[in-house]
Copies of this chain bind each other. A is one copy, B any other.
Amino acid sequence: MKIDFFVSAFDKMDRKTKPPGSLGVLEGVAVRLAEIQQTLEPKLARKRICVYAGSHGVTSEGVSAYPGEVTGQMVLNFLSGGAAVNVLARHGGIDIQVVDAGVDAEWPGKLLDRPDFYFRSVRRGTSNFYREPAMDQSECEQALEVGREQVRAALNDGIDLLGIGEMGIGNTTAASTLLVALCGLKPEEAVGRGTGIDDISLEHKIQVVAGSFAKYFPLRLEPAGLYWLGVVGGFEIAAMTGTLLEAAKARLPVVVDGFIATAAAAAAFSIDNKSREICFFSHRSGEKGHGKALEALQVEPLLDLRMRLGEGTGVALAMPILDAAAKILCEMASFESAGVSGEIDRAN
């Protein structure tokens, strides 16, 4: 007989010493984890964030407040442990893997030996998609595979919960265009200030997004997610999509970071809607289009702290909350076991 873990976990949650539903979002999270892991004792002991990095040809359009070389510099910062995601991941007891999916940088040889660095560069940056497609179809497949590989590595290492984050100067422009194409956002809704551009650059960024969408729209093919990843995506974005697709097959829960990772999720849902089932959205980003994108995808994030940094910083803060939800289902006493009286039956 097949156990319906969703129903059984819900029933188990309702016997805990608390008014029904009073742990709010935690209860729904715990029940989903039970269903994903097919157990009434879900556990998220080992956690890992994959930080995918990629360079973007579209930076030559002047769409970012920072120069493109910051992408490579930040990869080194991740590997020396000084970035925000490092601090927050250490705090949460979370591993980090840094993946070069296509960064325009030369790495010192000793970096390539590190077990927490994957040099999987598809190419040293996408093409400027405002002028020509960001990548060709085989490069897109290769980038998806970069992300799939991380799921296999995580399963191999006994990881219970995976997170996806990113670094890529220029990638809010790619993500905005993806969200226009896949979620029906208007360019002016989807485009925000990213790392902090001024009004003139913002206006131009909207033009780049609207123009790119118009440029590639007539060529639309199915599945839309795969097509748009290729023409306006990024290597790190496609890698995140690959992670979600592979994790769905493996029933591995994945925590999605902010604006860029949500664009990767939109592509994944378009390619295989089953990938929805293993996704948890960490936070509502302060980046302008994120709220609308989450709404369009009909998902609710756990946190809303007006963060807009990416890297997986939202994931690092949300993972302990998911873990807490799992522990509620596993460790909390029931009314029977604790000898606590239940609700008054007012019918009597």
Task: Flag whether A36 is at the interface (Cβ < 8 A).
Answer: no
> By the criterion CB–CB under 8 Å, are A341 and B87 in contact?
no
Given A195-B19, A317-B324, A320-B320, A341 and B70 contact (CB-CB distance below 8 Å):
yes
Task: Flag whether A207 is at the interface (Cβ < 8 A).
Answer: no
How many copies of this chain does the complex contain?
2
Q: In the docked arrangement, what's the CA distance between A76 and B306, Å?
A: 39
Contact digits for A276-315, partner B, Cβ 8 Å, 1 yes 0 no: 0000000000100000000000000011111111000100
Task: Flag whether A343 is at the interface (Cβ < 8 A).
Answer: yes
Interfacial chain B residues near A82, Cβ < 8 Å: 17, 331-333, 337-338
Which residue of B19, B70, B80 contacts A196 across the interface (Cβ within 8 Å)?
Answer: B19
Q: In the docked arrangement, what's the CA distance between A24 and B286, Å?
A: 8
> By the criterion CB–CB under 8 Å, are A84 and B344 in contact?
no
> By the criterion CB–CB under 8 Å, are B76 and A320 in contact?
no
Interfacial chain B residues near A22, Cβ < 8 Å: 195-196, 286, 307-309
Interfacial chain B residues near A308, Cβ < 8 Å: 19, 22, 24
Contact digits for A56-78, partner B, Cβ 8 Å, 1 yes 0 no: 00000000111101100110110
Given A70-B340, A73-B338, A302-B305, A324 and B19 contact (CB-CB distance below 8 Å):
no
Interfacial chain B residues near A66, Cβ < 8 Å: 19, 341-344
Task: Flag whether A18 is at the interface (Cβ < 8 A).
Answer: yes
Given A82-B338, A87-B328, A65 and B306 contact (CB-CB distance below 8 Å):
no
> By the criterion CB–CB under 8 Å, are B69 and A327 in contact?
no
Which residue of B83, B303, B339 contacts A332 across the interface (Cβ within 8 Å)?
Answer: B83
Interfacial chain B residues near A106, Cβ < 8 Å: none
Task: Flag whether A23 is at the interface (Cβ < 8 A).
Answer: yes
> By the criterion CB–CB under 8 Å, are B338 and A80 in contact?
yes
> By the criterion CB–CB under 8 Å, are A196 and B340 in contact?
no
User: Which of A31-74 touch B at CB < 8 Å?
Assistant: 64-67, 69-70, 73-74
Given A24-B305, A67-B344, A307-B25, A84 and B18 contact (CB-CB distance below 8 Å):
yes
> By the criterion CB–CB under 8 Å, are A84 and B16 in contact?
yes
Task: Flag whether A198 is at the interface (Cβ < 8 A).
Answer: yes
Task: Flag whether A88 is at the interface (Cβ < 8 A).
Answer: yes
Task: Flag whether A346 is at the interface (Cβ < 8 A).
Answer: yes
Task: Flag whether A26 is at the interface (Cβ < 8 A).
Answer: yes
Closest to A24 in B: B306
Interfacial chain B residues near A201, Cβ < 8 Å: 346
Distance from A21 Cβ to chain B, minimum over Cβ atoms (Å): 8
What are 7 sample pairs from A and B whose C-beta atoms fall under 8 A apart? A17-B83, A19-B195, A21-B196, A64-B344, A82-B331, A91-B327, A317-B321
* 14 further contact pairs, Cβ within 8 A, besides A16-B84, A84-B328, A92-B320: A17-B83, A19-B196, A25-B306, A66-B343, A67-B341, A74-B340, A76-B339, A77-B338, A80-B338, A87-B324, A87-B331, A87-B332, A88-B324, A92-B324
